[in-house]
Structure 1
């Protein structure tokens, strides 16, 4: 009896948190605690947890929101939102775009890039509308919105793994990229003009990963997402700066000898191989746009009341940020392909191509400055992507204890997450090689498909009207795109193999 009573109390606390929080899902159970229960039990919990009045609901709502790092502070503005979006959306994936152009060519590369840009921008505005889709309710977490739109079980099945991977997995990628860039920076600083080294001991890959993780966790001690606006500003400036430097310096230094703009598709290859290569190139373009799993969380930092919602400042923040994103992404693709053609390396794109072809033409200071900017951006983006994980950990605690997470425990949670991501980065340093496969399963549905289906479920446009058909077709195309990109990635891995260098970063 005691065990049953404890479980009942736990479920009641979970229901109380989510029922009166900013995510009122159909059957709101914590995403970290998946419980299968009978309908009769659920009915009894719902009847016991419902507030007797709207005032009682509001009274219980606000303290719960104030306990969690995503909604602890709602004093943000359009500029803060723009900082977070820029910091989370522009990344080193964009440096791979010229590689896609080497397969698709000028015309089809530009067409695919434009379609992907417009498509994902449309779904962002859908998420902004869905954030406050029902009067008095806010969906400040992507997973809770999915549960509201699709139901508890289907919402978790569809969104739990993608959301958790795009948060934790992205942080692992930042450790791998940031730690690897630190190693390159040390090599440049230690190398003399005659090509000899300065004799200083160079830390190995594990040690550089550890240095990066320690810096990231130190910055992560800021209490909530809104307090990280200055960090996101630094990350946004760094990302825009190194993207601009890569394409502008590549154009300025001139093209290497023998550059060709012919497609890398080999005429002698089979049709299946060609289709696979084309899909992989499209995947590079599609995966260059990210951050949709953070849009609702970022909007959750903006104030909202009965007179003014958070939609308008969020729209301004998205507009500002995506003008700057377009000014980075399109020149990176076009100018990068012009500078290197089909000589662009398949490993990290421009991050590898620029020092490979222009090392003798660029000063150590310039190359070091670019690497510093990449490191700063990885450190800053780590904070934004880790925040939903911190929020989920504290959600579990507040549900059990019905009180705010103490500062010492919050610090322990963040140290634990940092140690866990460090362990994964060291164990699987080849994770970037799986980006196309896992990205096709996670990022593509969350970015290109789910928002359209959510709009049909919650926005309820006129059935079989133009808007209804448009979103239905667009959502189905997004799911088809996810399937074909995963299939192409599996085929490529089966053909070329995988360098699974466990514990050898």
Structure 2
């Protein structure tokens, strides 16, 4: 090879490497690598414990005691295992960090296929959750208003969603993951608070005289579809894997002290907290109200008003933080695309326009589609279960290559089969809900 050509090639390679490092220094996921284990814990709690936790007693009423308890415990255990796998794979290649889920996917499946396998599913989960948080934040804000100001003028849900969106627009200007640590900590505390209110208030209320644990449905068809819908509700409660590598990317690493130590410590604590939130709400809520529990256990509680108002306010504060935890990786994807593919220069103006547009689009969809929660269940069956339950197992088998018929090999294949079953079964109940709701569907209702 011509020495000049070789030298020019090395210069280009060096410039590309420097450009990549400069971009990573600007992108929100990799801009700050000074995170601590407790950062990982609070971001994970905020991301995992969604306001949907208040619907777990309803899911239990769709499933029944045996299947409900089993599915919740098994899902918690499986996703804890797959979370550990992802943390271990973050630095599977010496000297390299897989800072984003799609980077790990590209290493396992190839540059192009990895992108197509991971990015659409991850984006579907993150953007879908943010749209639901828009609706949840606006709905809880409206409930709070109606309780504290019962004689006030009626205000449409649309305007409450817009109020919530303004807060998210302001917070979206925070540059990176570590800069939202305070927001995330507050959100994590709120999630513990309103889940505690839900199950402690239910326990104080006590088992109702007319409580029954028979099926809540009158027909066999409704019972089957309801059961499948309950599976979806439980499966979608564990979606934190979509942000775990991005959170780990904020933690410093060295050969003596790899990032996986701090990340696993934070994640394990987060999963214990998740269990302390999920299990009491699901089991106590169903125990007290049985087949008559509402899809939001707070509605079943009804009184005292001040407690329900406080819980709704806590939900609003929590989903404000949850929105940002799921939005940061999306901002990272969008800003990376704008710089690398569209050739924009990294700037504050680009960041404001990109993030503001994303917040605006999620707000618009949240306002426009009253049954987006059901639609998300359909999309979630394709995205939530794979990214949390079995894609980590497939990637582990490809990269780590455990010995055939070993415990690791059996566990991963068992979880792949379990996760794929969820992918097939979970959306069916939601599709039926959409068909039923289409009859009364109105845009911007």
| TM-score, structure 2 normalization | 0.92
Question: 1:396-431 CA distances to partner (integer Å, 9 max, x unpaired)?
Answer: 233258786211221121111111111111221320
2:346 match: secondary structure: coil
Distance 1:61 1:160, change over 3 A: closer
Q: Could you tell me which residue of structure 2 aligns to residue 36 of structure 1?
A: none
Mark the structure with the bigger radius of gyration: 1
Q: Which runs of 5+ in 1 are unaligned?
A: 1-46, 192-196
CA distance in 2 between partners of 1:155 and 1:392 (Å)? 15
1:349-388 matched pairs, under 5 angstroms: 349-355=296-302, 359=303, 362=304, 364-388=305-329
Aligned match of 1:100: 59
The structure 2 residue matched to 1:213, chosen from 162, 165, 180, is 165
**In structure 1, C-alpha distance between the alignment counterparts of 2:51 and 2:293, rounded to whole Å:** 15
1:337 to 261, 272, 286: 286
Render the CA deviation track for 1:54-98: whole Å, top value 9, x for unaligned. Answer: 998875653332121111001001001101001010012221111
The 5-angstrom pairing of residues 228-307 of structure 1 reads 228-264=180-216, 266=218, 269=220, 274-307=223-256
Say if 1:250 and 1:448 are closer, same or farther in 2 by CA, change over 3 A.
same
Cα RMSD after superposing both structures:
2.5
Give the corresponding residue for 2:443.
503
Determine if the alignment matches structure 1 residue 85 to structure 2 residue 44.
yes
Q: Which secondary structure does the structure 2 equivalent of 1:262 belong to?
A: coil
Cα contact 1:93–1:287 (8 A) shared by 2: no
Which residue, 230, 250, 274 being the options, matches 1:325? 274
CA shift digits 1:432-488 (9 cap, x unpaired)? 122322221110111111000010112222244332233133213312320122234
Change (3 A) 1:402 1:504: closer
Match for residue 225 of structure 1 among 177, 180, 188: 177
What does 1:386-401 correspond to in 2, within 5 Å?
Answer: 386-399=327-340
Match of 1:413 in 2: 354
Partners in 1 of 2:326 and 2:362 — Cα distance? Answer: 12
Give the match's secondary structure for 1:212. helix
Q: Deviations 1:335-368 (Å, cap 9, x if unpaired)?
A: 10111111012x4x2143222xxx3xx1x43222
Deviations along 1:24-65, one digit per CA (max 9) or x if unpaired, are xxxxxxxxxxxxxxxxxxxxxxx9998689998875653332
Shift of residue 156, structure 1, vs aligned partner: 2.9
Select 2:385's aligned residue among 440, 444, 450: 444
Specify the SS of the correspondent of 1:67.
Answer: coil
Equivalent pair of 1:147/1:153 in contact (CA under 8 Å)? yes
After the TM superposition, which of the residue ranges 140-149 and 242-251 deviates more from structure 2? 140-149
Is residue 239–residue 388 contact of structure 2 (8 Å, CA) maintained in 1?
Answer: yes
1:500 and 1:64, CA in 2 relative to 1: closer, same or farther beyond 3 A?
farther
Give runs of aligned pairs for residues 176-191 of structure 1, distance below 5 A: 176-191=135-150
1:142 to 81, 93, 101: 101
Deviations 1:152-205 (A, max 9, x none): 3332332222111111111111110111111111111112xxxxx1xx433312
Between the aligned partners of 1:136 and 1:56, the Cα distance in structure 2 is 19
CA distance in 2, matches of 1:226, 1:487: 39
| 1:366-409, Cα deviation, whole Å (9 max, x unpaired) | 22211110100111111111111211121123325878621122
Local SS of the residue matching 1:392? helix
Matched, 1:75 2:34: yes
In structure 2, how many angstroms separate the alpha carbons of the residues matched to 1:386 and 1:49? 40
Structure 1 distance, partners of 2:299, 2:10, is: 59
Distance 1:412 1:403, change over 3 A: closer
Question: How many angstroms apart in 1 are the aligned matches of 2:263 and 2:20?
Answer: 22
Q: Give the conservation status (yes or no) of the 8 Å contact 2:371–2:434.
A: no
Q: Quote the residue 2:3 is aligned against.
A: none
Task: Assess, with a 3 A threshold, how the Cα gap between structure 1 residues 207 and 489 changes in structure 2: closer, same or farther.
Answer: closer
- Higher normalized contact order (CA 8 Å, seq sep 6+, divided by chain length): 2
> 2:289 & 2:79 partners in 1: Cα distance?
28
Shift of the 121–52 alpha-carbon distance from structure 1 to 2, 3 Å rule, reads: farther
CA distance in 1 between counterparts of 2:250 and 2:229 reads: 36
Residue by residue, what CA displacement relative to the aligned partner does 1:211-235 show, whole Å, maximum 9, x if unpaired? 0000111112111011111110000
- Structure 2 residue runs of 5 or longer lacking an equivalent are 1-5
SS of alignment partner, residue 220 of structure 2: coil
8 A Cα contact 2:144 2:309, kept in partner? yes
